[in-house]
Amino acid sequence: MNLHRMLAPALRPVRRRAALGVALLATCTAAFAGAPPAAETVYRDGVVYTVDAADTVAQAIAISGGRIVYVGSDVGAKPLIDKRTRVIDLQGAMVMPGLIDGHMHPVIAGIDLLKCNLNYELLTVTEFQRRIQACLDKSHRGAPDSWLEVVNWFRYGMSPKGIEVTRATLDELRTDRPIVVHDSFGHSSLANSKALMLAKVGSTSKDPVGGRIDRDTLGAPTGILEDAAQGTIALLIPKPTPQDYAAGARAALDALRRQGVTTFLDAVGTDADIDAMATLERAGALTARAHFAPLVPPAEVSDEESAQRAVARIVAVARKYDEGAIRPSPSISVHNVKLFMDGVINAPANTGALLEPYFENHGTETSPRFEPAARREPDVYFPAAVLTPLLIGFGESGIDPHLHTDGDGAVRAALDAVQAMRAALPGRDIRPGFAHCELVDPSDYPRFAELNVTPVLSFQWEKPAGDTVEGARDSLGPKRYPLIEPAGYLAAKGARIAYGSDWPVDPLDEWLALQVGVTRSAGPGAQAQYAGRLGNDPGLTQAAAIRAITLNAAYELHEDQRIGSIEAGKLADLIVLDRNVAKIPPDQIAATKVLRTVVGGRVVYDDGQLTKRQ
């Protein structure tokens, strides 16, 4: 059933989706009330970590028609087995629900693999230049205005500490071509002088809504473009072809199934992104449940009238692409919308919106003296006058808002708008997700549970690293810095924590992220300056981290009645692992290997180990 058919006059598609799940579960239960028919597949002799309400551990699972029809003991599974049943002896291996990544950008991540890629590496300025020059030398395109686009630059890992690169850094390279280098966080880009000239970015250029052009002491652009200011360059770079999008989608899905990801939310889902995944679906090659959150940029909304138009545009996208209630075979879902409230709290960008000013160095490089800046900036990208009507409009239309909120000022403003939305739409089942929440004022911790807002956190950031130490310690100051990445604090106040990798902001490594979410440390391979734990937050338990990347992420996506746990009646999305991630020492979680990934009962990835065991 398409979303536009579900949009009743009261505009309640979300409740319809939830009702379908309840009805389906009731039907499934009734079907097996009598003597159960034989199952198509039975997994037995395993450690089945269900992530149900009691975190039950079972031995066996039976699957038929892409759904789970039994969870329990090996003895209880025997009546479901006949000569046609495929029986998998797990020999003690762990089974858990498939991973649900509640915030990522998979298609663009796949496309990035085709570009000049700095691979998140820690680089000196010389190494930075050398790597880009090598890409220039390999791509002889002839035309002096052909762009070189460089991706996955870890801006916060440049050395020595505090070094900043500018357009002059790129201007030294042997080329006449325009160059743009994208920070892996996606909030900053560095352009050379040729690129700035073609984009007509100069001393008199004004900062766009939701962005900033960094300038030197004379007012000239340094080459660093923050957030929406990157759009001036993006308009000039040749767009990926449909073939590029298809290749990116295929590469992304391959990476996801190897990691055990069975459902994802593309948190800036463009039409091209959705089309690429839809093309693979039609070919039977979609191997994960694909959810998309189309973007409403800040410049699109200036008043209530433009807010209404933005809501109508997103509803039209949902009508075009959303395929209704999910089924065993992976499909396309569009019932979220993405809004950026701010940038990032990391220096030197400092584009995250804070309640109090950033600290700045009033001393020297060798004798620093960090004190609060004279002004609190930047402001949130969506002020209350437009954010509140936006959220109400989306709530009325059954579209769940997914907001990027990095700084405590952005979190506060977004929570206030959700509170107003709840007052305007009492009883509506609207599930806002706040991505990242790297800094939250302690007085706002309990509001997440009170307002039923899901923090969608990128656990891999919860460790000492260049972005969380040099990129945050001095500019946040001694009071705020110990509170960064507050997953444990939020959980202690009742927040339903979900997980989102934000890939390709970081390499896709779900198991490292889970380990960091528990340990809040980088592990034994970290550089000496990044040893130990990050901040004062206690972190999550292993059970809480697992729930965040399964059932809680399913709740965020309005799919918890169908996926996210291993329970009879739910879709058969599960993974088989080489270790029990719920019980092993936390510092061993990152080494986890996925042996098999199953989506709707269909094996979409298998490393061969289970077959060898049979």
Q: How far apart are CA 341 and CA 343, in angstroms?
A: 7
Beta strands in 255-385 (DSSP E): 261-266, 289-292, 332-333, 336-340, 359-361, 370-372
pLDDT confidence of residue 143 = 66
As a dihedral over the C-alpha atoms of residue 397, residue 210, residue 107, residue 468, rounded to 10 degrees, the angle is -120
pLDDT confidence of residue 20 = 42
Q: How far apart are CA 197 and CA 178, in angstroms?
A: 9
DSSP label of 427: T
pLDDT confidence of residue 571 = 98
- Which tokens belong to 601? 């009962």
Q: Would you call the peptide bond into 464 cis, given omega within 30 degrees of 0 as the criterion?
A: no
Q: Which residues pair with 226 in a beta bridge?
A: 188, 212
- Residue boundaries of the structural domains of the chain: 106-234
Q: Which helix (H) or strand (E) holds 13?
A: helix 13-31
Beta pairing, strands 41-44 & 60-64: antiparallel
The answer to whether 567 touches 58, Cβ cutoff 8 Å, is: no
Q: Which SS3 state, helix, strand or coil, does residue 295 take?
A: strand
Q: How far apart are CA 194 and CA 468, in angstroms?
A: 33
Tell me: the pLDDT tens digits for 531-572?
999 999 999 999 999 999 999 999 999 999 999 999 999 999
Q: Integer distance in angstroms from the first to the last C-alpha of the chain?
A: 40
Q: How far apart are CA 371 and CA 368, in angstroms?
A: 10
Q: How far apart are CA 398 and CA 302, in angstroms?
A: 22
Kindly give the residue spans of alpha helices, DSSP state H, lying in 443-596.
Answer: 445-450, 473-480, 487-492, 510-519, 542-548, 551-556
Q: Which helix (H) or strand (E) holds 3?
A: helix 3-6
Kindly give the residue spans of alpha helices, DSSP state H, lying in 223-295.
Answer: 231-234, 242-259, 271-282
pTM (2 decimals)?
0.86
Beta pairing, strands 289-292 & 261-266: parallel
The long-range contacts involving 82-87, CB below 8 angstroms and separated by at least 24 positions, are: 82/38, 84/38, 84/40, 85/38, 85/39, 85/40, 85/41, 85/42, 86/40, 86/41, 86/42, 87/41, 87/42, 87/44
In terms of Cα–Cα distance, which of 236, 237, 206 is closest to 221? 206
pLDDT confidence of residue 10 = 33
Residues 6+ apart with CB under 8 A from 149: 115, 116, 180, 182, 237
- Which tokens belong to 123? 């680089």
Residue 263, amino acid: T
Q: How far apart are CA 100 and CA 552, in angstroms?
A: 9
Backbone angles phi, psi at 419, to 5 degrees: -60, -40
Beta pairing, strands 86-89 & 41-44: parallel
Q: Which SS3 state, helix, strand or coil, does residue 546 take?
A: helix
Residue with tokens 């309400």: 53
pLDDT confidence of residue 141 = 60
Residue with tokens 């292993």: 542
Q: Would you call the peptide bond into 504 cis, given omega within 30 degrees of 0 as the criterion?
A: yes
Q: How far apart are CA 99 and CA 97, in angstroms?
A: 6
pLDDT confidence of residue 13 = 39
Beta pairing, strands 574-577 & 602-606: unpaired
Which stretches in the chain have pLDDT values below 50? Answer: 1-32
Residues 6+ apart with CB under 8 A from 496: 448, 449, 452, 454, 455, 552, 555
As a dihedral over the C-alpha atoms of residue 155, residue 157, residue 160, residue 162, rounded to 10 degrees, the angle is 50
Sheet containing 67-72: order of strands: 67-72, 60-64, 41-44, 86-89
Q: Which CATH architecture has domain 106-234?
A: Roll (3.10)
Q: How far apart are CA 236 and CA 249, in angstroms?
A: 23
The answer to whether 413 touches 380, Cβ cutoff 8 Å, is: yes
Residue with tokens 């100069």: 202
The answer to whether 540 touches 486, Cβ cutoff 8 Å, is: no
Beta strands in 94-183 (DSSP E): 94-97, 99-104, 116-117, 148-153, 179-183
Q: How far apart are CA 544 and CA 550, in angstroms?
A: 10
pLDDT confidence of residue 535 = 96
